[in-house]
Amino acid sequence: MVQRMCSFLHNRRTSENRKIDKFIKSTIYNARNCCSYYNYGRTYNNSDSNDDEDNIDYPIFLEWVPFNRFEDIKQIGEGGFSKVYSALWIDGKAKYDKQDDGSWKKRESEPIRVALKRLNGSQNISVEYLVEIEKQWNYYSTMIRTNALKFYGMTKELETKEFMMIIKFSEKGNLRNLILNYFNDILWEDKIMILSKLSHNLRKLHKLDYCHKNFHSGNIFVKYNKNDRKEYDDDYDDDAIYISDFGLSGPSYKQEANNKVCGVLPYIAPEVLNGEPYTLFSDIYSFGIIMTEISSGRPPFHERKHDIGLSLEICNGLRPEFEEGTPEIYKKLAYKCMNAIPDQRPTVIELFKVLKFWYYSCDNLYYYGEKEKFGYKEKVIRAMFEEAGKKIPSISTPYEKNPDAIYTSRMFTFNSYQNPLIPLLLFHI
């Protein structure tokens, strides 16, 4: 087996944390058994004479990388429980060619720009938090045939001794900033495309039975070029949109209290505020909140203090408002996602099917006009969103944010509130 894969196994590189070492070693053992591979193009075939580097598979595994192998480190972001840096990884991600005998031969790698996510307080990283990191690895492993976010390995900051995740660097902005900066340029067709691809990515996460637990517009990264809408197509496995930070909303060290909730308050489902565990339907609630944000161009409850008072009102049925002129079918779907009763919300598969049909109804390539699903014909759906789109350029989105409206993840300690009130109207599609 090639040297780079073996070096960690032979303890030349160690995190000095038994749990993390064991985790990384397990990914290497799996790679040695050829369980999964990076794919930078079409599937590898020994009979293919094309030597293009983009058509070769590589084993996929995590690496432990000494911190001195990074240069030009700059902070580029900060959340409630982590900081994010850009850095130049001197060695770059290991790459290999598969040989005729099934073995792997190392190829020369080049320096690459990566993101380093420093996990605050992770000197004593908990078993529970490490499990969430393992879930991220499992999820990214299912995305290897895409250009989505890649998880390369881990390192440790020398001064603080805090662990850092090594992730593919992306110049994409998050959805919240996209809405803030380009709201009046984003057509309704684009809004539906974003939501359709977002539901597709969430579907992949839920297929593994994983809850995101911190699903909000700051954790969704979007490629958008208002001058080139060709970037948006029907490839649901492209890199136009991806989700980050699932399962990692809280601190990396162990929390004893079980009445604590981590996240961004307006996106937290009412049953979670009531002390119930996160479920897949909790993510669907957050999806509905994101739909209101895409409609209005403003973060949910930006004018309110994000405190216990707002939490109580959310539990009693308060929901963000939509922009005037938003199509009724859109509002009905969002309200269904935000239903106070979790199992009255759609599954992510149901959500994806509806949004995909809407997107195809708005897209010329797939538009037939008379095709009908979910109670509406394509031409009716297209007409609704085209009419709504006429108002977008004139919508005023500037807003005053309450200084106590916080859109980074925080820890909340709540007593159980009264059960959410059942809305007087349950919307159906």
User: For every one of its 429 residues, what pLDDT tens digit does the chain have, with 9 covering 90 and above?
Assistant: 444 455 544 445 688 888 899 989 888 877 766 544 544 433 333 334 333 333 344 557 888 999 999 999 999 877 767 788 999 999 998 777 767 776 667 777 889 999 898 888 888 888 877 887 887 787 777 665 554 567 889 999 999 999 999 988 877 788 999 999 999 999 999 999 999 999 998 998 898 888 888 999 998 988 776 665 544 455 555 567 888 876 554 444 444 445 677 889 999 999 999 989 889 999 999 999 999 999 999 999 999 999 999 999 999 999 999 999 999 999 999 999 999 999 999 999 999 999 999 999 988 766 666 778 888 888 899 999 999 999 998 898 889 999 999 998 888 776 655 454 433 333 334
Is 319 exposed, middle or buried, given 0-12, 13-18 or 19+ CB atoms closer than 10 A? buried
Amino acid, res. 230: K
Q: Is the Cα dihedral 293, 298, 303, 308 positive or negative? A: positive
Instruction: Give the C-alpha separation, 226 to 216, whole Å.
Output: 23
SS3 377: strand
Where in the chain do CATH 3.30.200.20 domains reside?
Answer: 3-168
The pLDDT value recorded for residue 32 is 67
Amino acid, res. 357: F
Q: What Cα–Cα distance (Å) separates residue 428 from each residue in 195, 202, 206, 374?
A: 19, 22, 23, 10
Q: Which residues contact 39 (CB under 8 A, 6 or more apart)?
A: 57, 144, 145
The pLDDT value recorded for residue 226 is 63
SS3 66: coil
- What is the CATH topology of the domain spanning 173-413? Transferase(Phosphotransferase); domain 1 (1.10.510)
Amino acid, res. 271: E
The pLDDT value recorded for residue 296 is 96
The pLDDT value recorded for residue 254 is 47
SS3 44: coil
Residue among 60, 71, 146 at smallest CA distance from 111: 71
The pLDDT value recorded for residue 239 is 61
The pLDDT value recorded for residue 88 is 96
Which CATH class, in words, describes the domain spanning 3-168? Answer: alpha beta
Beta strands in 299-387 (DSSP E): 372-373, 376-377
The pLDDT value recorded for residue 144 is 57
The pLDDT value recorded for residue 328 is 96
Residue among 286, 267, 248 at smallest CA distance from 151: 248
> Bridge-partner residues for 95, per DSSP?
107
SS3 76: strand
Determine the straight-line distance between the first and last CA of the chain, rounded to whole angstroms.
Answer: 56
Where in the chain do CATH 1.10.510.10 domains reside?
Answer: 173-413
The pLDDT value recorded for residue 249 is 46
SS3 407: coil
